[in-house]
Structure formats: C-alpha cells, structure tokens
A and B are shown apart, each in its own frame.
Chain A
Amino acid sequence: MDKGLCVNPVWPCAMTGACSVLAGISGINVLIHGSSGCYYYPRSLLKVPLFSTYLLESEIVFGTVNRLKEVVTNLSTSDKPIAILNTCIPALTGEDLAGAFSGESAIFVDAPGFIGNVEKGAKIAFESLGIKTNASREGVNIDGVSLLDLFWRGNLHEAERLLSQMGIPVAVRFAKDSYENLEKGAALHTVSVNPSYPSGVGTMLGSLLFPDLKDTCAKLRETFPNADIDPILEEWKRADEQLFYSSDKYLRKHEPPVVAVCAQESYAVFAKTMMERYFGSEVPVILARNSDAVSIPCETDLTKITGHIADCSPDLILGSTFEANAYPNAGFLGITPPDRSRVSISARPIAGVEGGIMFIENVLNTLIDTASLKQKKNR
C-alpha cells in the first residue's frame, strides 16, 4: 500500500490553507513560526504581508519559545493581535507554544503541513479564531472567500451585489474582512461562494454558484421575509436563456465537448453541471483537489490525474495549468490554481449570475479558439 506516495503533488499543505484564512483578515499580524522555506511559499502565493520567526537549526535544538517570544514582542508594538501559525518542526518537537502565550492577545493556530491539505488547515484556522454568532447581527455572512481561489475578488463583489439587490446586509466575509468586524460576531446565517472552503460559522443557507442560486434565494426569502429575490430570479432566467442561445449556436457547428474536470469539489460539480446543462457534455473525469470531497473522488497525484485525462481524450480541461501542460491536446480553462495560461488581474467571478455567464462565455471562447487552431493545423 503506497497511500502517501505521490508524484508532483498539485495541492498545498495545511499550513498554507490556514495561512490563507488568517491572511485574509485585516487588523491582525500573521506570524509563521517556522523556517524561511515555510514562510516563502505562502508569502509568494498570497501576496500579502506576513511575518516569520525564520527558525534556524540551533533554535530547534534548544527550543523555539524564546525566538517566538522575541518576534511576538517586536510585533506587539503595532497593537494588532497576532496569529501564530505553527509549522511542521516546532509541532514535532512538542513544545508547549500555546501555553507560552496564554493570557496574551495571540491566536495560536496549530496546522503543521504534514496533517493534511489546504482545506484541513483552513478549517483549523477558522476554529482557532473562535468566531461566534451574534443573534443581534443583521444580515448574512458570505462564506468561501479564500485568497487561494482564482475568483475570490470577483465572487465577493458578485455576492455583495446580489445580496444588496435583495436588500440583505452582509455581516461578515469569510475570510476577507477586518478582525474588528469578526469580533462583533457573525450573523446567524451564511451563504457561500465556494462551499469547499467552509468557515463552519452560522447556519448554511446554500451556495451562490449558478446552478444552486435559485434554491439559495428561496431559502434566503424564508429566512428574511422582506428580501426581494424576484429581480435576481429574473436575472437568472435571462442569463439562462442567453447561455442556451450561445451554446446552441456552438452546437449547430460542433459536437458536444468531452470534458475533464479537476478542481475543488464545489467548483468541479458546478463545472460538470454547467457543461451538462448547456452543452449536453460527457464528463468522464471529475476529480477533487480536497480530500474531504464526498460526491467525487479526490486525486492530487499529477501523473494519476493525467492518466485519467489521457484515457478519455477530452476536448476541454477545466482545471489548472498543471493538467493543461500535462495534456496539451485539449482546450483549457483555468478554474483552480495555478492558472498560468493567462495574465489575470481583473476581479472575475465564478459564483452568482455573472459567474455563471463568465464561465460559459470563457468555455465557448476556449472551444472556438481550440477548434480554429485545429482547423489551421489541418490546412
């Protein structure tokens, strides 16, 4: 049995996941208690200021508490709470780091890389933040906003737009909000733009991904009787018609694309549903990045993923450039990081009405470009 063995692992560790949650919260200093190597990766990936104890070998031998205290003391002058994020080696040596900071305004997050993947670390970070719900808090929380997500900014804008149109205030955004707002407590109810990054805070009313949007709107109206969901339902209907119109036009000239989908479970299921609904596609490969996926299998070994993809000879890959590079015969649209196929600066959503439209629009353009390229090659 070679359960742990993996070639070219495509998904980051728990520490990176925890860091992505903490780094999204303004008003706290995030301190990675580990080596420069452990600091460097999340720092370059998340592109936000982070701190590190930059542990050295000697500190591992003689204990790391003093080094941690030294850095915490320096950071304390900023008057911001400090989130201490533990990494593999201090976690292995068994020092009582949490105890060393009891009574101080430090949040200790024990999410060493070896315990699992991104989602596990994110879950631990949310638990460590100890966010409570507050019955007097109006509105709804937006969940599933992760700095690791290619679409986090676009999703957040789209979720706020939809909720604003319905007249429902936004309480807390997980995890892109201020610590001050988090401390006020979260609203009792939550909607998500990416259910694979759950905060676990509030009663989940559903996802804002296009196929789920109507049901979630209905639940929002049950919970908030004054919410005006009709304009959103009307918008959804118009978008649905437009998407059928555009995909029908494509299908007049082409066969339905065979699709391979590799992403976190929520986006993977979303992509499969959309491709089946608008193109009548076959989706013989659907693999999750997150090991806690319940409806589809998880795979993070790139050679195995590529093997599955090659077996079905897809026309389109919806995944990351890991898959796109490994199987260059198909068209590609990035829905999970990394997407090195394009320069991406704007706030593109994948959630909401606009997210649904954006997704199918990009799928169509990718398919048309790929077909045109193949035609040119055959000439």
Chain B
Amino acid sequence: MAGCTLTGALSVACFIPGAVTVVHAPKGCAHQTFSMLHAMMNEAETKIVPEILVSGLSDKDVIFGGEACLRRALDRAAEKDPELIIVVTSCVPETIGDDCLAVCREHPYADRTLYIPTSGFLGGSAKDGENAALIGLSTLAKQADPIPGTVGIIGEKNLESEVEENFSEVARLLDLLGLTVTVRFCRNAGVSDLRKLGTVSCFILRDGRSADAGRELGKRFDRPVIGEFPRGLSGSIAFLQETGKASGLSAEKIEEAIMKENEHQKKMLGKFANLSGSEVSLGVEPFEGTLAVAREALKRLGMTESPEGIKVRLPFYLPVGVSGTMKMLYLWRRAILHG
C-alpha cells in the first residue's frame, strides 16, 4: 500500500469499534483515506463505514494556527462518549507548528485520548504510520500471563481486498495445531479486546511491514513473534513448525499437523493435475517472494518454466498458504486452457 503515514495509521485505527478517530488535517487528506476504506469495504461486501472526524484545516487556519480546530474536533468526538479517541495528524499541522500533544493532554477527555504523532509524509511512509498506530495502541494493553493455546495476529492489512480470506487460511493452519486466535490487533477488535493483547502466548505478524511493531511488542510482552503469514505451499509447513514450536507444542503434535497439511495440499493440487507437462513463462516478479512460491507450485504440478512457454501472470500479492496459491493456479489454468 502506498501513501503517507496518515493512510497507514488510519488503516489500523479505523478498525476499532467503540473508538473515534480524529484526523487533524485539511478535509482532503481524510477524504483520501475514507475513500480507500470505502472501496475496500465494498469489495469485502461490508457496508459498515468507519467514522473519521477531521478537523478540516483551511487556508486561514494554516496562517493563524490550527490548535483550536483540533480542540473543537476533540470536543465533538467526546460528545459521542467513546471508549477511546485516537488522534492522528497529517503533514500540515506539523509544518505550521501545532502542539497537538499539548492540546490532547489539556482536553477534558485526555485520559481516554491516544495521540499518535504521524505527521503525514513528514513522519515517513504508510508503513511507518501502520507501525506507529500499532505501537501506540499496544500501550492500552497491560502485562499479563500468557494463556496457552492462544495467539494474536498483528498488523493485518485492513485495506487488502482478500484480508478475510488470508485470515481464514491462517486460522485453518492454526486449527491443525489446536491454536486459537484471540486478538486480531487491530481488525474489528473493540478496545476491551485490544487490552487483552498481553494474554496471548505468541504473536503472528501479517508480514514484514509490521516488523517494527512486532519487535516492540515482542520485547514489551516477552512473547515469541512469527515474522509473517505463510508463503505458498512449503511456507505453510514451515509456518506450522515455527508457530507450533513458539507456542510450546510437542513435536508429536506439530508432526501430526504437518501430516494433515500435506494431505490437504495433495488434495488441492489434484484439481490441477491436467496442467502437468505444460510449459509456462512466468515473466517479471511484481511482488518480492511470488516467484519462489510460483516455482514451487510449478515443480509440484510437474510443469516447466521456459521463455517460450505460455505466458502466465504472477499475482500482485504474496499468495498466503494453500488458498493463496490456489487463486494463482486458477488464473494460470485459465491462461493455459483458454488462452
């Protein structure tokens, strides 16, 4: 996902029911993210639109200062009596020198206000915004004893169109190990759920984008951190091994899960048996890691790679587990059998 810290932070903060997100920025900055959220919600056939309250800095405010605008926005947010007010900023208040932290601290609702100083592009990229929001929100959770058999997912990409499909695939693999996701940090999890972050026995990151947050959270709660969702076929096996070990499961339990997964993969790949012997050309890698996943699938299906082969496209996303690999293979099958 491209964009500035604001988009990144909002893609996390807007998925917390019971919280109100205040954006201190001109209206247009908030519209960009709101519009993207709307697009993604429609793709996911979810019609619930998160509310983003924007202070609406104007040309006059950038000259005379925008702190009063933020104060008014906080007043409006507080009227809703939310469990939490999350404040994020664009590059404009940073440039004109608004002291947003002081405004938040002085506000009557300060004890329920979390200020995340994102500062638009001046704070970095969308990825930095996502990490800042995840780290900021993790301060809501207290230290606790880990509950065996539980895991927390960190940094799901809320604007990814296949976010729920990816989660289902991970949940399927975790189920093989007898593990349950108790916190999705932060995807449609209320403030009280987020506070349970410290109770999970292991953190699983969506991918390397949230590595900064993963490092910070792992250290603070003293928990093992799995670096990313499984990549493709062998990635699923490695994921079972790593997660099982991190969760303190026995070698037998992990081996049993792997055996079941191997059977599942064999069954799924059987659907593409008619592609065996096909020659394909994979072309450029649009997303780091997809080529390795694709080559493994080729090998498993008895296909070969050749510059003269039928052109098949690599997906513009990293296929998560078997389900992600299948989506890629459907597109290949269409190209091979139907041009």
Contacts and interface: CB of A to CB of B under 8 A. Distances in A.
Interface of A: 2-16, 34-41, 45, 55-57, 60, 88-89, 92-93, 113-117, 300, 302-303, 321-322, 325-326, 328, 338, 340-341
Contact of B91 (A4, A13, A35): A35
B232 interface: no
Contacts of A340: 38-39, 42-43
A208 to B, nearest CB: 29
Interface of B: 2-7, 26-32, 34-36, 38-39, 41-43, 47, 49, 51-59, 61-62, 69, 72-73, 76, 90-92, 95-96, 120-122, 125-126
- Please report whether the interface of chain B is mostly helix, strand, loop or mixed according to DSSP: helix
Nearest to A4: B56
Contacts of B121: 34-38, 55-57, 89
Given A4-B61, A92-B96, A114 B26 contact: yes
A338 B35 contact: yes
A37 B4 contact: yes
Nearest to A43: B2
A321 B38 contact: yes
12 contacts: A2-B76, A5-B73, A6-B27, A9-B31, A9-B56, A13-B27, A13-B29, A14-B28, A36-B3, A39-B2, A328-B47, A340-B39
Nearest to B35: A338
B62 A92 contact: yes
A116 B57 CA distance: 10
B62 A114 contact: yes
Given A8-B52, A114-B58, 8 more contacts: A10-B34, A37-B121, A40-B7, A114-B26, A114-B62, A325-B41, A340-B42, A340-B43
A92 B34 contact: no
A88 B72 contact: no
Given A37-B120, A325-B38, A325-B49, A13 B58 contact: no
Contacts of A321: 38, 42
B95 A9 contact: no
B75 to A, nearest CB: 8
A35 B4 contact: yes
Contacts of A328: 47
A38 B34 CA distance: 14
Contact of A113 (B6, B28, B53, B72): B28
Contacts of A302: 49
Contact of B53 (A7, A11, A88): A7
B285 to A, nearest CB: 22
A2 B61 CA distance: 12
A4 B55 contact: yes
A113 B26 contact: yes
A136 B39 CA distance: 47
A8 B51 contact: yes
A5 B95 contact: no
B219 to A, nearest CB: 27
Contacts of A88: 26, 90-92, 95
Contacts of B34: 8-10
B3 A37 contact: yes
Contacts of A36: 2-4, 121, 125
